[in-house]
Amino acid sequence: MVRAAPLVESLVQLANDGLALDDSDRLASQILAVLQANEGLSWISYGDESGNFTGAYRPVEGGIRINQSRIIDGHTRLVEHDVQSDGSRRINREDDDTGYDPRIRPFYRKAKEAGRLVWLPPYVFYNQGVPGVSCAAPVYDQWHQFRGVISIDFDLKALSGFVSRLAMSENSKLFLFTSDEVLLAHPSFNTMKSGASGRDSKLLTLADTGDPIVASVRTRNRPASASAAVQNGFDFFEFQHDGEDYFASTISFRVGDDLTWLVGAVAPKSDFLSGVWRSQALALAFGALTCLLSVILAFAMARRVSEPVLALIGFMQRVGDGDLEAKASFSGSREFRQLSDALNRMIADLRDRLRLRHSLNVAMEVQQRLLPQRPPRPRGLDVAGHSTYCDETGGDYYDFLILDEAEPESVLVALGDVMGHGVAAALVMAGARAVLRDRAHSTGSLAELMGRLNRLLAADLDGTRFMTMYLAVISAGDGIIRWVSAGHDPAIIFDPASESFEEIDGGELPLGVMDSTEYVERRYGPVQAGQIVVVGTDGIWEMHDARGQQFGKERLREAIKHAASQSASDIVNEILARLAEFRGDCRQTDDVTFVVVKAVHVIAQPSAQGESHFLNRI
């Protein structure tokens, strides 16, 4: 158990330099590697201030499992996987609400309150019916803000088997207990009383055993003598039971700064030579033997690891200073050699991730340049757009094109959403943009342009991906909107005069699904001055907050209505502000892209006298 403290401290040091605390799947793989390298451990886990929990453990029936849970809208959603022999994972169970919250568990509370590494008194692991002891430490970020708690747990059942193999004589007994008389290990008794469920199980005390030999030791050690044993470390005495004389002793040792455990040893005097057992020398020899066995027990529970731990700390300092070529090579037990291998794999993965991040940053810069750097200024229309990717690169796309510079009162608006996000989606998006920009000026019909895009993407993607697309030509000349949709969400039109919303729906299959899809161009209008057209991707209304609720289209309509009297750019900013407030600290999980077009004035058709006029409503 001595190795627990250095291992917990090492993991805490890694928390800001390698452990993926904000990515449960990656963190599970890292924790799994450490657990596999340390056979004596039962649990390694991390819980944070949001109630998220990631752990790996050894179940009673054998093997290793990964346990991941999140608290969403007050419910603890659990997914647990069995780790197969080939390293793959198979779902063991799922639960929509286990009721588990790491933040209210003793290991989390004590570590958070103490602000240091702590040892927990022995207890029964949550919902498992397994007696154990935990070592836990708080995790802080670089600004010393509390993030969560890392914990390592031990199954105490193995201790009973261990003490049953230790003997000072033919009929001797050794048992282990705490300073408050909780039984930790006994060669003849189960140390736990099982309940109806794992949560109801309890650890036995010395009084619960019903063993008269244990009772004699207990009577000797409480209350005054127990304190003396804890302070002085050793107590030797004799007692009689059923007409037979016994030697007995207790010796105490510290577990960290929080716990005191005692080893009790009892043997009948008749086990020793009849001519010598009455002498004081034999009593001292018996006590010395008890001390020796206690030392053996303590060292068997916790092997010396100071040198590899110092090497581990030095290694992490080099990595923290930026030396990603450092190699971990820890001497000592097999577990530390396995930990060396796991850390070297982790550092190699970190080097690869840094190279990948550099490449992604370049890709992100290139993709951002593919989006409009500034909106056009068609006569009579106010245009603005925005796109935010949840990863470095994304699959959302929007564009503006003035098709006829001689009559710049019309603008082509394009908005697309590739299935998924990341590099693959970004490549599809770039290909669609290239075709659109190449063909938009030479193709008179929007339906024909969409059909060409579909045939090219269907041939390239071979059904593995698809892309929704919305094309619309909005004209301030006659107020007509010509549009065609490939599986995209409908445009939202707001009329400030009547304070009403309308969605213009209709469309065909997304691009890349079937190369024979025929697209239809539709018309809407005329729009009036002051009306607002908004086209967006589902990353807006499907955005989640910390409770798992979606932003929804109603909140989007409220944002449009609130800023309707302002410019298109101001409407964009209003929508973004409401999205940010709604999401809070939650990670954005989908790309957010939308376009706003506001009719500033609409040129009417010539009147009976052959004149044109503006319908100004702003």
CA distances from 531 to 381, 498, 537, 616 (A): 10, 10, 20, 11
- Asked if the structure places residue 65 within a domain, the reply is yes
Which amino acid is located at 362 in the chain? V
- Looking at residue 611, its pLDDT comes to 37
For residues 208 and 221, state if they share a domain.
Answer: yes
- Asked if the structure places residue 497 within a domain, the reply is yes
- Asked if the structure places residue 499 within a domain, the reply is yes
DSSP calls for 239-271: EEETTEEEEEEEEEEEETTTEEEEEEEEEEGGG
Model confidence at 374, pLDDT cuts 50, 70, 90, reads confident
Q: Which two tokens stand for residue 233?
A: 């470390």
CA distances from 126 to 57, 569, 609 (A): 12, 53, 86
In angstroms, the CA 340 to CA 37 distance is 9
- Asked if the structure places residue 189 within a domain, the reply is yes
Model confidence at 227, pLDDT cuts 50, 70, 90, reads very low
Phi, psi angles (nearest 5°) of residue 556: -65, -45
In angstroms, the CA 37 to CA 582 distance is 43
Decide which of 155, 188, 205 is a domain's last residue: 155
Decide which of 250, 271, 292 is a domain's last residue: 271
For residues 194 and 129, state if they share a domain.
Answer: no
Burial of 312 (0-12, 13-18, 19+ CB in 10 A): buried
More confident residue, 462 or 122: 122
CATH number, residue 220: 3.30.450
- Looking at residue 40, its pLDDT comes to 72
Can you count the helices (H) and strands (E) in the chain?
13, 28
Model confidence at 490, pLDDT cuts 50, 70, 90, reads very high
- Looking at residue 224, its pLDDT comes to 40
For residues 195 and 239, state if they share a domain.
Answer: yes
Neighbours of 329 (CB within 10 A): 14
Reduce the DSSP state of residue 569 to 3 states and report it: helix
For residues 150 and 172, state if they share a domain.
Answer: no
Q: Which residues pair with 500 in a beta bridge?
A: 495
Who contacts 548 (Cβ-Cβ below 8 Å, separation ≥6)? Answer: 72, 73
Q: What is the pLDDT of residues 88-112, one digit of tens each?
A: 899 999 999 999 999 999 899 999 9
Q: What is the pLDDT of residues 387-436, one digit of tens each?
A: 887 776 667 889 988 877 666 788 899 998 888 766 777 777 877 888 88
Q: Which residues pair with 174 in a beta bridge?
A: 265
- Asked if the structure places residue 282 within a domain, the reply is no
For residues 111 and 258, state if they share a domain.
Answer: no
Within 13 Å and on the Cβ side, how many CA atoms surround 499? 5
For residues 66 and 102, state if they share a domain.
Answer: yes
For residues 405 and 545, state if they share a domain.
Answer: yes
Which amino acid is located at 346 in the chain? M
Neighbours of 213 (CB within 10 A): 20
- The whole-model pTM stands at 0.46
In angstroms, the CA 65 to CA 521 distance is 55
Give the CA-trace dihedral at 314, 318, 321, 323, to 10 degrees. -170
- Asked if the structure places residue 353 within a domain, the reply is no
For residues 529 and 432, state if they share a domain.
Answer: yes
Length of the chain: 618
- Asked if the structure places residue 54 within a domain, the reply is yes
Tokens 């690891």 identify what position? 305
For residues 379 and 528, state if they share a domain.
Answer: yes
Rg (CA), the chain: 36
Q: What is the pLDDT of residues 535-584, one digit of tens each?
A: 999 989 999 988 889 999 999 999 999 999 999 999 999 999 999 999 88
DSSP calls for 491-550: EEEEETTTTEEEEE---BPPBTS-TTPPP--EEE----TT-EEEEE-TTTTT-B-TTS-B
CATH number, residue 380: 3.60.40.10
Model confidence at 515, pLDDT cuts 50, 70, 90, reads confident
Decide which of 210, 239, 271 is a domain's last residue: 271
Range of the domain at 451: 371-615
For residues 449 and 596, state if they share a domain.
Answer: yes
Minimal CA–CA distance to 103: which of 62, 65, 47, 60? 47
Minimal CA–CA distance to 385: which of 396, 300, 473, 394? 396
Q: What residue spans of 274-305 are helical by DSSP H?
A: 280-301
- Number of separate domains in the chain: 3
- Asked if the structure places residue 386 within a domain, the reply is yes
CATH number, residue 120: 3.30.450.20
Q: Which two tokens stand for residue 458?
A: 């269907």
- Looking at residue 608, its pLDDT comes to 36
Cβ–Cβ < 8 Å for 485, 506 = yes
For residues 63 and 93, state if they share a domain.
Answer: yes
| Cα maximum dimension of the chain | 138
In angstroms, the CA 231 to CA 254 distance is 10
Least confident of 16-30, 49-63, 144-158, 165-179: 165-179
For residues 491 and 423, state if they share a domain.
Answer: yes
